[in-house]
């Protein structure tokens, strides 16, 4: 199935064509970061307007880059949630129009499931490198989820952040430090020359399992809002350090986020007997996180699979590839497709 994927859930307008394999035939991404950066974060209305403006051209370029005609497409796949309502609507409307005009099937894809599936986008990934069960982290700007993957088609959610996502925590922390949006890469850059152990920040242990949804374990869940508050007070109380030790503060803050992610992943991996550690999503671009995961996988005798850096942040190749692999939900009447801004993770193939 040659699939056109469309992604507009947040601040990237993206379209891609993927063939079985998966073979990514084209992957066009328009980042809106310059539009949102002056505001210090994503402004939903600006995101929707920018999607409307650029999506038609992005779609044309995706088909052209793949060296195909529109009629060569076998199906259309679109992110229907979770995400910003106004932003999702733009991609979904375009997908509906294309499915109706081309008379092709339309499937919806869950954005976080697509991030999870992006693990399999590594062209060099030998099939036997992914030994199941896999303990997988999906860490993005909007979500932090810990999953058990039992096959390329079936997963269960074991834990998640109860407040801020890891990427959100980095973005908000960066803002407090006076760094531009998005904060994750900025903190990574600044932290390169810093000492991660000079200042210690809390790692946010979740102790109250009474409030957790069924199936979630406290030691597989995250809480990042306290970390952000600790940074706020630290910066308020140590203005001198902000001037002369910002790289050390950034490194310490990043270290707290990454340590929480790695520690929970290993806890879950031990419990489920995972043979592979995996990580996907925008924060998985972070080189310190990638190195820590590589090290801990080696230390614990497990394989590791990390989404290739180019497919970590939002893109449509992961949407199309997820659909090619059967992770999409068929839409019976494309004229009646809705959006799901808070679409929960339910597990596939269960
Ligand atoms: O997956 P993504 O593009 O969008 C969502 O689905 O949310 O993730 C965006 C997040 C942002 O919070 C951004 O700061 C973070 O990924 N990010 C990084 C890095 N690159 C992007 N965080 C840490 N280190 C990076 N190099
Ligand atoms: Zn995303």
Distance 315 CA to ligand 2 centre (A): 8
Q: What is the pLDDT of residues 148-163, one digit of tens each?
A: 999 988 999 999 999 9
Does ligand 1 lie within 6 Å of residue 190's CB atom?
Answer: no
Mean pLDDT of all residues in 60-80: 98
Strand partners, 77: 5, 107
**pLDDT confidence tier of residue 127, bands split at 50, 70 and 90:** low
Average pLDDT, the chain: 94
Q: What are phi and psi of 6, to 5 degrees?
A: -130, 130
What CA–CA distance (Å, rounded) separates 293 from 299? Answer: 10
pLDDT category of residue 254 using cuts at 50, 70 and 90:
very high
Please state the rounded mean pLDDT for residues 179-194.
96
Give the pLDDT score at 125.
Answer: 67
DSSP 110: E
Atom of ligand 1 nearest to the CA of 9: 6
- The per-residue pLDDT for 211 is 74
Average pLDDT of span 315-322: 98
222 — pLDDT class (breaks 50, 70, 90): very high
**Which whole number is the average pLDDT over 57-73?**
98
Task: Compute how many other C-beta atoms are within 10 angstroms of the C-beta atom of residue 201.
Answer: 22
Which residue of 143, 167, 308 sits with most ligand 1 atoms within 8 Å of its CB, as the best mutation to test the pocket? 167
For the CA of 254, the closest atom of ligand 1 is 23
The percentage of residues in the chain with a pLDDT greater than 70, rounded to a whole number, is 97
- Please list, residue by residue across 154-184, b when 16 or more beta carbons sit within 10 angstroms of its beta carbon and e when fewer do: ebbbbbbbbbbbbbbbbbbbbbbbebebbbb
The model's pLDDT over 292-313, given as tens digits with 9 standing for 90+, comes to 999 999 999 999 999 999 999 9
Question: Quick check: CB of 11 below 6 Å from ligand 1?
Answer: no
Please count the residues of the chain. Answer: 350
Backbone angles phi, psi at 171, to 5 degrees: -65, -45
Is it the case that residue 350 has pLDDT exceeding 60?
no
Nearest C-alpha to atom 6 of ligand 1 is from which residue? 140
Higher pLDDT pick, 270 / 130 = 270
Separation of 102 CA from ligand 1 center, angstroms? 34
Q: What is the percent of the chain with per-residue pLDDT over 90, rounded to a whole number?
A: 88
258 vs 244 pLDDT, higher one: 258
Q: What is the mean pLDDT of residues 123-129?
A: 67
Q: What is the pTM of this model?
A: 0.96
For 106, the enclosing helix (H) or strand (E) is strand 106-110
Q: Which pLDDT belongs to residue 241?
A: 84
Consecutive H or E run containing 145 = strand 144-149
Model pLDDT, residue 26? 98
Tell me how crowded residue 53 is: count the other CB atoms within 10 A of its CB.
12
CB 131 within 8 A of CB 305: no
Residue with tokens 């597989």: 220
- In the numeric block, the tokens 């733009």 are attached to 90
Residue range 43-61: mean pLDDT, rounded: 97
């Amino acid at each position: 199935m040659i699939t056109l994927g469309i992604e507009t859930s947040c601040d990237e307008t993206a379209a891609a064509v993927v063939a079985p394999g998966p073979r990514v035939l084209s992957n066009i991404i328009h980042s809106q970061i310059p539009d949102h950066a002056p505001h210090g974060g994503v402004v939903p209305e600006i995101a929707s307007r920018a999607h409307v403006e650029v999506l038609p051209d992005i779609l044309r370029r995706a088909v052209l880059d793949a060296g195909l005609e529109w009629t060569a497409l076998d199906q259309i796949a679109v992110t229907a949630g979770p995400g910003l309502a106004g932003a999702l609507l733009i991609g979904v409307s375009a997908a509906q129009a294309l499915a109706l005009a081309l008379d092709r099937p339309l499937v919806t894809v869950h954005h976080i499931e697509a991030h999870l599936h992006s693990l399999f986008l590594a062209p060099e990934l030998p099939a036997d490198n992914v030994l199941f069960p896999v303990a997988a982290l999906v860490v993005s700007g909007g979500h932090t989820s810990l999953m058990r993957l039992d096959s390329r088609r079936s997963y269960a959610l074991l834990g998640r952040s109860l407040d801020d996502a890891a990427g959100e925590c980095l973005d908000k922390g960066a803002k407090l430090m006076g760094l531009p949006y998005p904060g994750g890469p900025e903190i990574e850059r600044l932290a390169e020359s810093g000492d991660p152990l000079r200042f210690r920040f809390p790692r946010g242990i979740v102790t109250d399992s009474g409030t957790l949804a069924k199936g979630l374990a406290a030691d597989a869940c995250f809480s990042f809002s306290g970390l952000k508050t600790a940074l706020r007070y630290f910066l308020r109380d140590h203005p001198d350090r902000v001037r002369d030790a910002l790289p050390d503060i950034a490194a310490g803050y990043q270290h707290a986020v990454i340590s929480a992610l790695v520690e929970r992943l290993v806890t879950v991996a031990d419990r489920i007997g995972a043979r592979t550690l995996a990580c996907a999503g925008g924060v998985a671009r972070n080189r310190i996180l990638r190195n820590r995961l590589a090290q801990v996988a080696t230390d614990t005798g497990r394989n590791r699979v990390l989404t290739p850096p180019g497919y970590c942040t939002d893109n449509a190749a992961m949407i199309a590839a997820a659909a090619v692999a059967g992770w999409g939900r068929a839409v019976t009447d494309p004229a009646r497709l809705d959006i799901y801004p808070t679409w929960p993770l339910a597990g596939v193939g269960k």
